[in-house]
Structure 1
Amino acid sequence: MSVDTYPATLHTPEVNPRGEKSGRVPKGPSQRRRTARTLAAKYIVVILTSVIAVFPILYIVSASLNPNGSLAGSSGLFTKFSLENYINLFSNPAQPFAAWFMNTLLIGLVTAAGTVLLGGLAAYAFSRMRFSGRRLGLITILLVQMFPQLLAVVAIFLLMKGIGDIFPALGLNTHIGLIMVYLGGALGVNTYLMYGFFNTVPVSIDEAAKLDGAGHSRIFFTIILRLSAPVLAVVGLLSFIATINEFVIASVLLTAPEKKTLAVGLYQFIAQETSANWPVFAAGAVLAALPVVVLFFVLQKYIVSGLTAGSVK
């Protein structure tokens, strides 16, 4: 067989846009069909998952825009459109939704910042320092997290009552006291989470900084925190979400109507079976979700990026 009559389908290398041969054999029709089927199956799974996740959101938004007084009349999505529920949400002085919203933002942001700071300091000590009881401390953190904070409600109430007798600003019915309780309950799991991330930051960075005369505090605040931005964003976001959704402890410690959080305040709209106002509750739930969504988009670039990559040449 001459060279001219030799089949041209044997290992014909691909040519990339630069004109260089890549050495790859082009995909055949059967392989392209398999790839197309795999890609189609992935898209179907993504679409179904998205529909399942988005449908409750669409339903609650539709219910908040429906002027009817019950969820039974809101079964059809966006059949009616009215801002009456949002107006009623802010028009009742006995249920100050605006005050609840600001209280929740204040408590959530301060708790998230405090959790990141305290958890980061504890995680840095466990990750970079060697001291007696270090392993026992890590195990204790895990064991303490096995017991939910809900079990300590009575003890927390009595403790805050005793503290309030001495320091009224830190006792019952105070936002500072509630923040202190939240910080103590969230310190364990977040410390262990950040401890695992700090271990991935090369120790050679610390050693180079120490040669330049930097101490532990400067290394932590100027180097470790910047390289650990992804885990800090995750911890802050999770702490903020948990604070907004928390109900039991906030309902026990906060009694004045103007000092309640969104979770406790919104429950008043549906607490009584004979006068449950679900559409107004749905409107409040939509507004309560906005801070979480905004904070997620603000921190998204830190969550999805790895700032430690390429830190050591």
Structure 2
Amino acid sequence: MTTAPSSARPGIPTPTPPPARRRDVVHRRPARVWWRQTGWRHLVGAAVVVFSVFPLVYVLSASLSSGGTLITANSLFSEISLDSYVELFDRPQQPYAAWFGNTLFIGLTASAGSVLLGALAAYAFSRMRFTGRRIGLISLLLVQMFPQLLAMVAIFLLMLTIGDVFPAIGVNSQVGLIFVYLGGALGVNTYLMYGFFNTIPTSIDEAARIDGAGHARIFFTIILPLVSPILAVVALLSFIATTNDFVIASVLLIDPEKQTLAVGLYQFVSQETSQNWSLFSAGAVLASVIPVALFLALQKYIVGGLTSGSVK
């Protein structure tokens, strides 16, 4: 009797088939456990979102109302009209378009200057060793503890005196206001960039110096591209701070054609007999477009720029 030859060769173990896969059993947590571990967080998050979004929705509803008072905007979106947006650009005594352009010019110029000056100062403190370096860093930090509002009288008198010699940068000058913003934001921007510059290895600078590069070439061609996240963060924060400023801009800018949005919009609600909250809300909605667009464009740099600079 003959038997069929076995497929297994002598001396070679026959592979065993893998065990059948078992489906993972999903164990559902009881509702009480889910609420204690995760559910309450969703409730807190929803409450925070409602608390944050409601003022924005209310302002948008007031801008679409033609009543001119906040009482007519209590019922959200009961009336939808674009009359306030049209009237906003049709008031010669309150030139909203000029305010918008002034805000863009002052905000973009001040933010660009703050980034450049802060980066130069941060590079010097991070890469150079000189007498008074530590005292200078501590002084920058201590000066920022006092708000710029405390020096408002001194700033006004200083700009008034400078205007007697150089009228182009004195009181009622947008260039003079930009210089004030640059001086006020230099300390905090320098300290913020200083922490980020310390995360860049100094071996890169040493290799560039061996190749014959100087400080200017190293700074503009090597360091700046590596610290682009913190540059974007400082530019965004500086732009928002300058566009939202009211006190300094209202003191230094006198002519309506030179004022910014923060100062100009106040005219719509400052007078008791002619308060128009619909125009004010419409102007606020349009004024928020640029900061929101910049935030969306630079949001990928914000987290990395703020967290990387906090760890040395």
Shift of 1:26: 7.7
Shift of 1:297: 1.3
Closer, same or farther: CA 64–167 of 1 in aligned 2, 3 Å: same
Paired with 1:201 and 1:283, the residues of 2 have a C-alpha distance of: 45
Match of 1:52 in 2: 51
Match of 2:10 in 1: none
Paired with 1:71 and 1:235, the residues of 2 have a C-alpha distance of: 36
Match of 1:183 in 2: 182
AA aligned opposite 1:170? I
Shift of 1:222: 1.6
AA aligned opposite 1:155? A
CA RMSD, aligned part only?
A: 2.3
* Structure 1, 103-112 or 71-80: larger mean CA deviation: 71-80
Match of 2:65 in 1: 66
Match of 2:293 in 1: 294
1:224-247 deviation per Cα after TM superposition (whole angstroms, max 9, x unaligned): 211111111111111101101111
Shift of 1:37: 6.5
Shift of 1:251: 0.8
1:2-36 deviation per Cα after TM superposition (whole angstroms, max 9, x unaligned): xxxxxxxxxxxxxxxxx9xxxxx987555999578
Closer, same or farther: CA 224–75 of 1 in aligned 2, 3 Å: same
Look at both structures and tell me which one has the larger radius of gyration over its CA atoms.
Answer: 2
Matched, 1:257 2:270: no
Match of 2:267 in 1: 268
Equivalences for 1:25-40 in 2 at 5 Å? 28-30=27-29, 38-40=37-39
1:282-313 deviation per Cα after TM superposition (whole angstroms, max 9, x unaligned): 1111111111001111212322457x99xxxx
Match of 1:133 in 2: 132
Match of 2:199 in 1: 200
Paired with 1:268 and 1:29, the residues of 2 have a C-alpha distance of: 59
Paired with 2:257 and 2:179, the residues of 1 have a C-alpha distance of: 20
* Structure 1, 177-186 or 211-220: larger mean CA deviation: 211-220
AA aligned opposite 1:153? M
> TM-score with structure 1 length normalisation?
0.85
Paired with 2:218 and 2:52, the residues of 1 have a C-alpha distance of: 42
What is the SS of the residue equivalent to 2:212? coil
Paired with 1:140 and 1:271, the residues of 2 have a C-alpha distance of: 39
Match of 1:13 in 2: none
Equivalences for 1:1-313 in 2 at 5 Å? 28-30=27-29, 38-305=37-304
AA aligned opposite 1:48? A
Quote the sequence identity (%).
65
Shift of 1:146: 1.7
Q: Which runs of 4+ in 1 moved over 6 A?
A: none
AA aligned opposite 2:113? G
What is the SS of the residue equivalent to 1:273? coil
What is the SS of the residue equivalent to 2:78? coil
Paired with 2:25 and 2:231, the residues of 1 have a C-alpha distance of: 45
1:200-220 deviation per Cα after TM superposition (whole angstroms, max 9, x unaligned): 112222222222222211121
Closer, same or farther: CA 32–228 of 1 in aligned 2, 3 Å: farther
**For structure 2, which runs of at least 5 residues remain unmatched after alignment?**
1-17, 19-23
Paired with 2:102 and 2:43, the residues of 1 have a C-alpha distance of: 42
Shift of 1:49: 1.9
Closer, same or farther: CA 55–135 of 1 in aligned 2, 3 Å: same
Shift of 1:176: 0.5
